[in-house]
Amino acid sequence: MTHFKENLAVIQQRFPNIVNRIVEIEEDSLNASSLPEEPLKKDEAWLEAVKGSVGDIKVVFVYGFSQGVALADLLETYPDRFFIVYEPDEVVFRNSMHTYDMRELLAWPQLLWVAVGESQLKMLFYKICTYMDQELAFVALRHHLEERLDLLQEIKHDFEEYHRTFLSNRRTEKHFQKTWIENSLKQLSGMLTSPSITELAGVYSGSTAVIIASGPSLEKDIEWVRKFQNHALIISAGSSIQALIKHNIVPHLATIMDGGSINAKVFENPKTLAPPLLYGSTAYHGVSDQKKSETIHAIIQNDNIGKYCMGMSEQDPTILPTPTVTGTAIQAAAWLGASRIVMMGQDLSFQEGKFYANGVEHSDEKYSEQVVKQAQHTVHNVDGGLNQTTESFLYMKDGLESLISMLPNIEFVNATRGGAVIEGTIWKPAEDVYKQIKHQSIENDSICKLLARVEFPQLKEKVTFVKSRVEHLLLDFASINEELGVMQKQIDKLQIQSRSNASKAWKTMESIEMIWGKIAEREWFSSVFETLLSDQLGDFDRILPEIAIEKDIRKKSDLVYRYLGGLGKDIQGEVPFIQKLLSESLEKMAEIKV
């Protein structure tokens, strides 16, 4: 008797990313010899050795699944910990799913993620780095350690290398934090008078969406895109709109996510503004300002100030930020109800020494050529060979694969000819995709007609609500600036008093704590400053326990002066910038006709 169907039902619900990895394995590759034997008796010696690695760490990365015996022992030994499991051999995993009833183990709440096969390791690293900010303990099953003693150190080293790269990318993103806040506040008026993508949920249920990226392979299949137009939703991702317009193809929907002003160049041709536009709430506001009508907005999950001003709760639907605008386009297609998403021009690598498809002209050509020449990485392509690529493209690939793993009910097709293999997709050339979708039908102006029918009930009430929030913020920023000035004087006084009059210093310390508490407890405080000054707030949060328990008033004073005083000055330095943006946002909202 096989347990595969019962186990698969749990896997589909909890770990959809591994379904295709195990379902596609040929039956004749399954054999008992490929399944390492785990003793049913608890391996006490191994568990004792594991203690040293786990210690007090709350999240445990386990290398190997095998028959699940050792994993079950770990879950029983550490019921208060969370586990992430990676099984490198798909055949071993599928064999176990056939041979044993794993339903209880797979459904264990503390088992967060399971990944299977070499191609899913980086995707797993991406998920850990994106959704966790905790130290990991690394553990390997006994038989893996017996085969390779250095295995655990290697996997830990690989993760640490990946984490460094991830943080480097995040630092680059933080460079644009002020830009994101500017865009978010300047998008408010447009968001009030355009539907959210989440409000259009399911309107194209069962359809096929074709996401067009700007990779060099697009040139080879541009005529297939033209043929797709009457049969699928054509959605351009970012700069690919230039290539489509060059070939007189108007997509059903264009998307923009990037916050930089480079997008002014992407959309400088008036024809690029012809199709309806979906913009992220932190995307460059200049494009949506030009478009004005036939727009759809998408609130980005980490746009805290936008969510606050629009009165959104944590339960309200948003879209995930991703390293590439293709991720935004995919989520748009998913919200619209597409049951199949086809990706074209998503090379994530270089073909024939080219960075972009012809017609994509917003970037510096010499710079693009230099990037291609200096590419030091390779990635497997859909033809079984290798393409040159960059660390940045690999990061985008991991992000896309993570997103795809979260959408198990959608069929993903990679139709990027010669492009990188994308985990979670099926490779099909454009001609085969056409055979699948030619019986489907969709009008070229379908989304235009949809948007023409959208009504905005209670617009006046919503505009009034958002305006009042922004006005309150503007007034409160003036107050907070005064309070910070008072606090800074108290901190300066504390430095002197801590060395001359300890009793007065302790009273001043109480006063500082009260002022700071009033500042930081404001409803909007984290929405603004956790985006704008995340590093500085992080440094302060890390030192706060030390400040709290310090009994020596001189040492306490020095810590407060350095960290809270420094943070206060950083906040004051940003107040004029925010006040200016709030005023400009109110001016734009005043133009709304209600």
Q: What distance in Å separates the CA atoms of residue 330 and residue 342, rounded to the nearest whole number? A: 9
Are 383 and 405 contained in the same domain? yes
Q: Check residue 199 and report its DSSP letter.
A: G
State whether residue 277 is helix, strand or coil. Answer: strand
Tokens of 575: 């107040």
What's the pLDDT band for 505 if we cut at 50, 70, 90? very high
Q: pLDDT of 328-345, one tens digit each?
A: 999 999 999 999 999 999
Q: pLDDT of 165-220, one tens digit each?
A: 888 777 766 667 889 999 999 999 999 999 999 999 999 999 999 999 999 999 99
Q: Is the confidence at residue 1, as pLDDT, over 70?
A: no
Neighbour count for residue 10 (Cβ, 10 Å): 16
574-593 average pLDDT score = 94
Q: Is the confidence at residue 368, as pLDDT, over 90?
A: no
What's the pLDDT band for 32 if we cut at 50, 70, 90? very low
- The closest alpha carbon to 317, from 299, 330, 294, 297, belongs to 299
538-546 average pLDDT score = 88
CATH of residue 27: 3.90.190
Residue 470: inside a domain, yes or no? yes
Q: Is the confidence at residue 30, as pLDDT, over 70?
A: no
The whole-number pLDDT of residue 445 equals 94
Are 399 and 321 contained in the same domain? yes
The whole-number pLDDT of residue 26 equals 56
Domain that holds residue 533: 459-589
Q: Check residue 1 and report its DSSP letter.
A: -
Instruction: Please tell me which residue, 374 or 115, carries the higher pLDDT value.
Output: 115
Backbone angles phi, psi at 513, to 5 degrees: -60, -40
Are 42 and 148 contained in the same domain? yes
Residue 22: inside a domain, yes or no? yes
Q: What residue type is 485 in one-letter code?
A: G
217 exposure class (CB count in 10 Å sphere: 0-12, 13-18, 19+) = buried
Count of structural domains within the chain: 3
Residue 594: inside a domain, yes or no? no
Q: What distance in Å separates the CA atoms of residue 562 and residue 283, rounded to the nearest whole number? A: 35
Q: Is the confidence at residue 28, as pLDDT, over 70?
A: no
Are 445 and 559 contained in the same domain? no
Q: pLDDT of 289-299, one tens digit each?
A: 999 899 999 99
Q: Is the confidence at residue 363, as pLDDT, over 70?
A: no
Are 22 and 129 contained in the same domain? yes
118-135 average pLDDT score = 88
Neighbour count for residue 269 (Cβ, 10 Å): 14
Q: pLDDT of 402-451, one tens digit each?
A: 999 999 899 999 999 999 999 999 999 999 999 999 999 999 999 999 99
| Contact by Cβ (8 Å): 424, 20 | yes
Are 157 and 231 contained in the same domain? no
Q: Is the confidence at residue 530, as pLDDT, over 60?
A: yes
Considering the chain, what is the average pLDDT of its residues? 91
The whole-number pLDDT of residue 33 equals 45
37-64 average pLDDT score = 88
Q: pLDDT of 221-246, one tens digit each?
A: 999 999 999 999 999 999 999 999 99
Residue 302: inside a domain, yes or no? yes
Q: Is the confidence at residue 324, as pLDDT, over 90?
A: yes
pTM of the model: 0.83
Are 142 and 219 contained in the same domain? no
